Chains A and B, each alone.
Chain A
Amino acid sequence: MGEEQVLELQNVSKRVGAEFHIRDVSLRLEPGSLNVLLGPTLAGKTSLMRLMAGLDRPTEGSVLVDGKDVTGVPVQRRNVAMVYQQFINYPTLTVYENIASPLRLSGVSKAQIDEEVQKAARLMQLTEFLDRTPLSLSGGQQQRTALARAVVKKAALVLLDEPLANLDYKLREELREELPKIFAESGTVFVYATTEPSEALLLGGNTAALSEGRVTQFAPTVDVFRQPVDITTAQTFSDPPMNTIEVKKAKNTFHLGEAAQLVVPKGYWGLPDGAYTIGFRAHHLLMSRPPETTKNNPLKGTVTITEITGSESFIHVSCAGQNWVMIARGVHNYDPGDAIEVFVDTRHLLVFDAEGTTIHSATEQQAA
């Protein structure tokens, strides 16, 4: 318990029938690292976690711990802890026994078990519920019980599969901040699956972007967000979805269909003329002209729908034959069908080639 170990996946695939749940994934997770698995539902986050834990055997490839092949080692003899999205506890045991469960089986003395359980319960604010059974608790308390069980185990690998998805907003905020700290101290490999890009950014660490069973990019979270390697990763790491459009580059202009065009930003001047896809996030679609892009004319579009959250408005715009989303500060009350002029902040433009691979701008390449 508590020892540090490196977890490595080498060309791991998981096939069920003819269907690939995981396709040729290679990852190296360092001790003490925080790793986010980011991907939409059915991207393979849970499947990948199950392979890491040893609950499933990969169809191909191997799982290594500290260089040792543990592919066929049953989960009982791996040093892992896992928390599911559903609140999974032993309904017939008290909260105390639920938390103590992994310790009971590892031959720890009674006094030490009690100490560990009390400590974990305090951490998860469960002290007053220790004598109750999980099903008599609220959802949040049930999930905290499951988390406390993972805490006391002090496993070398901690897997949290969307642990906060079914919790209410406030609790989610609180726990999201606490969890990495709780598990970071012991040199644990910490893996956290989520569908929400914002959650990945808040957690930090490294992010593995998953799409249809493949890891499209694995890098520090901010890098994956800022410089996605391809359009799939960019889409995975974008909420609301990234706005995209196919363009034709001719000299220093991107032609967006017949009527609209954008000036090619400086970093991409060296790009050969031809067909590309450009992408920009919802908050880079603006209602007023951004600085340094004075040469661009506004793009004309129509509003299809406006969603107002209070501090922000999500305005869906139909423009150049595409449906885009714009996030604007404050309340903007457009009616569907209203004409609107929008500006693309081309300083944050992403350019993808025909295969969807990101083309880095010259300025980025200089920085790197």
Chain B
Amino acid sequence: MKNFRWFVPTLYILFLMAPIYWLLNMSFKTTNEILGGFSLWPQAFTIDSYVEILTNPVWYSGYLNSLTYVVMNTLISVSFALPAAYAFSRYRFLGDKHLFFWLLTNRMAPPAVFALPFLQLYSSMGLFDTPLAVALAHALFNIPLSVWILEGFMSGVPKEIDETAYIDGYSFPRFFVKIFMPLIASGIGVTAFFVFMFSWVELLLAKTLTSVAAKPIAAVMTRTSSTAGYELGLLAAAGVLTIIPGAIVIWFVRNHIAKGFAMGRV
């Protein structure tokens, strides 16, 4: 038995990695080879699909649009959630517990429910087809999540630290930026990660609220279908490039995430 302990995890990891490998494999093949038959690695290795994506503005603007609204959304969500979470963590006010719970219930409705009202509202306000429209729509889900996560981290900081800072003469804004935010840096990192990922993978609102100018990458991908059929190599390469930003963000916050899980709020 002892010698086969490696077997189950290895099998699991293989299954886990297989689709990712296959995507990578496909992205370096020509569409003809993909459709032609089964091969474990590219027989005619090509990076044409990547060159096409990175040089054709229609393609790479899709990435830029996506990144724009994702970054905007992350900034909006975290900067609004920070003071809100501080209030929930430090002050008692009328209905604070109910409000805190209500925030979470915002995430119980599927985003699709809000697609129509957002579309109508943004169209009439001239926000339609702008990155800001998507960023604001995602904030509806991300701010409650951010408040929830950040509150957990903030409550882990004893309030006597706040008071010591006030006694030392810190004003509130100065204390918050100089003392408090460094203390919950990992919390901010974890929050930013979750917000980023939600916004990055969310398709429905992003597609509904944009048409041409702010088209996200997921919508651009539909371009690969043509009268000649699907350009599968191109699609695979686009898929690989979509995974990369998420992977980078995970790499940066990998140490903090464990802490976030330990705090019980992630």
B179 touching A84, Cβ below 8 Å = no
Q: With a 10 A CB-CB cut-off, give which of B158, B163, B169, B170 has the most chain A CB atoms.
A: B169
The answer to the question of A63 belonging to the interface, with a C-beta cut-off of 8 Å to chain B, is no
User: Which of A33-41, A85-93, A124-132, A355-363 is near enough to bind chain B?
Assistant: A85-93
Interface size on B, residues (CB 8 A): 15
How far is B163's CA from A75's CA once the two chains are assembled, in angstroms? 9
The prevalent SS among residues of B at the interface is: helix
Q: Which of A296-311 contact B (CB under 8 A)?
A: none
Is A105 engaged at the interface, CB distance under 8 Å to the other chain? yes
Given A88-B158, A91-B183, A92-B182, verify A55-B163 contact (CB < 8 Å): yes
Q: Chain A residues near B168 (CB, 8 Å)?
A: 101-102, 105, 149, 153
In chain B, what residue has the closest Cβ to A78?
B167
Interface residue ranges of B148-187 to A (CB < 8 Å): 158, 160-161, 163-171, 179, 182-183
Q: Is A74 an interface residue (CB 8 A)?
A: yes
Kindly list chain B residues whose C-beta atoms are within 8 Å of the C-beta of A93. 179
The 5 A-B residue pairs with the shortest CB-CB distance, nearest first, are A105-B169, A92-B182, A102-B168, A88-B160, A75-B166
User: Given A82-B164, A90-B179, does the pair A105, B158 have CB atoms closer than 8 Å?
Assistant: no
- Whether the pair A92, B167 counts as a contact (CB closer than 8 A) is no
> Could you tell me which B residues sit within 8 Å of A by CB distance?
158, 160-161, 163-171, 179, 182-183
A356 and B118 alpha carbons, distance in the complex (Å): 72
Number of residues from A at the complex interface, CB < 8 A: 23
Minimum Cβ distance to chain A for residue B157 (Å) = 9
Q: Which residues of chain B are within 8 angstroms of A102 by Cβ–Cβ distance?
A: 167-169
The residue in chain B whose Cβ has the minimal distance to the Cβ of A153 is B168
Q: In the complex, what residues of B have CB within 8 A of residue A81's CB?
A: 167
User: Within 8 Å of chain B (Cβ to Cβ): is A282?
Assistant: no
- The verdict on A76 contacting chain B, using a C-beta distance below 8 Å, is yes
What are 12 A-B pairs at a CB distance below 8 A? A75-B163, A75-B166, A76-B169, A84-B164, A90-B179, A90-B183, A91-B183, A92-B179, A101-B165, A102-B169, A146-B164, A149-B168
